[in-house]
Structure 1
Amino acid sequence: MNLDADELLAAFEARALDNRRFGHAEHLAVAWAMLRRDDFTDAVARYGAGIRALAAAAGAPEKYNATITVAFLSLIAERMQSGGHDSFAAFADANPDLLTKDAVSRLYSGARLASPAARTGFLLPDRPLRTASRSP
């Protein structure tokens, strides 16, 4: 994976990203870079604000989902604690399951993730945690 996470983070924070070219891997790279730099709580606030801004700039503010955002940040932060990867590429190679959107949907039912409550605030998972294995 050839993403420069620090460059993406700078563009993300400057609100200079084209949301059409900001796919799932780019979301993860920015989150990884932000979590390397910031305390988890600060990263959640900054990352959430940035994602909301991207959704609004795309004309789809309703697409922002607080539960998905916090859940992915939590998964990334947890994996970072056990990793010690010095690049996003190394982190991504060690955690291929996070490169799919299924990482969160293994923890949550579709109905819970689609709920208005999930969009506006963080909800705890409604599926057993044992289903959230690292294998794809």
Structure 2
Amino acid sequence: MTSPITHAFEAHEIDNTNFGHGEHVRVAFDLLNKYDFIDAAAIYAKGIRALATKAGAPDKFNLTITYAFMSLIAERMSRAPADGFDSFAADNSDVMVKTILNRWYDDDRLHSDTARGIFLLPTAA
């Protein structure tokens, strides 16, 4: 079942001041349940970019962060399907932490200008 926030996201009616990390994860989860990965990732990235632009901060959009989170959430969903978002969030509490990508990405690489415009793979450890 798609949540009201995801309906609002898809309609481009989200209030970005109330759209924190948990809401980002919820929308990603819903979109991945509704669409295949390619479509969900494209809808999500375009929506997040539109939100940043609407907020007057288009430079805050980061394609690497967006696609890395979508990939991580999709992988977790495929490994252990959840009964719903609350179950998913409880079973994957680390995904609910905004800095989880620091496990795989150096901060300079993740927040670089290049990472904002194209998807960067994590560097080898």
How does the TM-score come out when normalised to structure 1?
0.88
| CA distances 1:84-114 after superposition (whole Å, capped 9, x unpaired) | 2121000000000001112112110111012
The alpha carbon displacement at 1:8 in A equals: 1.2
State the secondary structure of the residue aligned to 1:84.
coil
Corresponding residue for residue 29 of structure 1 = 26
Corresponding residue for residue 38 of structure 1 = 35
| CA distances 1:18-69 after superposition (whole Å, capped 9, x unpaired) | 1010000000000000001111011111100000010011100000000000
Corresponding residue for residue 97 of structure 2 = 100
Quick check: 1:80 aligned with 2:63?
A: no
Consecutive aligned runs of 4 or more in structure 1 exceeding 4 Å deviation: none
Corresponding residue for residue 132 of structure 1 = none
Does structure 2 retain, via aligned residues, the 8 Å contact 1:106–1:127? no
Note the aligned Cα RMSD (angstroms): 1.2
Corresponding residue for residue 134 of structure 1 = none
Q: Distance in 2 between matches of 1:65 and 1:127?
A: 21
Q: Distance in 1 between matches of 2:91 and 2:26?
A: 14
Given residue 108 of structure 1, which amino acid in structure 2 is its aligned partner? Y
Number of residues paired by the alignment? Answer: 125
- The gaps in structure 2 that reach 5 residues or longer are none
The alpha carbon displacement at 1:73 in A equals: 0.3
Does structure 2 retain, via aligned residues, the 8 Å contact 1:9–1:33? yes
Given residue 45 of structure 1, which amino acid in structure 2 is its aligned partner? A
State the secondary structure of the residue aligned to 1:108.
coil
State the secondary structure of the residue aligned to 2:120.
coil
- The gaps in structure 1 that reach 5 residues or longer are 129-136
State the secondary structure of the residue aligned to 1:17.
coil
Does structure 2 retain, via aligned residues, the 8 Å contact 1:5–1:32? no
How does the TM-score come out when normalised to structure 2?
0.95
Given residue 50 of structure 2, which amino acid in structure 1 is its aligned partner? A
The alpha carbon displacement at 1:5 in A equals: 5.3
Percent sequence identity is: 50
Given residue 93 of structure 1, which amino acid in structure 2 is its aligned partner? A
Given residue 99 of structure 2, which amino acid in structure 1 is its aligned partner? D
